[in-house]
């Protein structure tokens, strides 16, 4: 499979679902929350567009992402969404496109590295 030939919105669609599973898995196993409402409330911190956007801005400044990942991010960020789409949502779409691409490439180790760094970032906010 060649992710570079897939529409960036589709990559983001896939990346969003992969990231959601990672967050839920982490929260169920490690957060200490046991009630679904508490888990959902906590999950919002991790899956919000504003959190994705802030993470991307900081990680781009740190040069955390490879050149290929930055290219994928920009493709996703620049996809045409709704007219009222926020800048945060655009950056979030780019982040999700990176995750979707890595998943299709079966680069699960890199997804894990990104997710570990993301958890640290969110938990230290």
Query: Per-residue pLDDT for 2 more than 90?
Result: no
**pLDDT at position 3:** 83
Q: Would you mind telling me the total number of residues written for the chain in this entry? A: 125
* CATH code where residue 82 lies: 1.10.1520.10
- The string of pLDDT tens digits covering residues 82-93 is 566 788 989 999
Sign of CA pseudo-dihedral 76, 78, 83, 89: positive
Q: Identify the DSSP state of 125.
A: -
Of the candidates 56, 28, 64, 53, the residue with the CA atom closest to the CA atom of residue 43: 28
**pLDDT at position 48:** 94
- The string of pLDDT tens digits covering residues 25-72 is 999 999 999 999 999 999 999 999 999 999 999 999 999 999 999 999
Q: Examine the residue annotation and report whether 16 is marked as an active-site residue of this protein.
A: yes
Of the candidates 67, 60, 66, 72, the residue with the CA atom closest to the CA atom of residue 97: 72
**pLDDT at position 106:** 96
Domain count for the chain = 1
The whole domain housing 7 covers 3-124
**Could you tell me the pLDDT band of residue 5, with boundaries at 50, 70 and 90?**
confident
Mean pLDDT within 11-15: 96
Annotated catalytic residue: which of 16, 61, 68, 109? Answer: 16
């Amino acid at each position: 499979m060649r992710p570079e030939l897939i529409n960036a919105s589709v990559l983001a669609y896939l990346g969003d679902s992969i990231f959601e599973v990672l967050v839920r898995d982490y929260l169920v196993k490690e957060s200490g929350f046991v009630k679904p409402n508490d888990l959902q409330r906590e999950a919002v911190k991790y899956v919000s567009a504003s959190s994705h956007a802030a993470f991307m801005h900081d990680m781009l400044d740190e040069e955390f992402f490879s050149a290929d990942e930055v290219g994928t991010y920009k493709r996703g960020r620049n996809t045409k969404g709704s007219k009222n789409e926020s800048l945060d949502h655009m950056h979030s779409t780019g982040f999700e496109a990176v995750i979707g691409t890595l998943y299709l490439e079966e680069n699960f180790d890199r997804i894990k590295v990104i997710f570990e760094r993301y958890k640290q970032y969110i938990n230290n906010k």
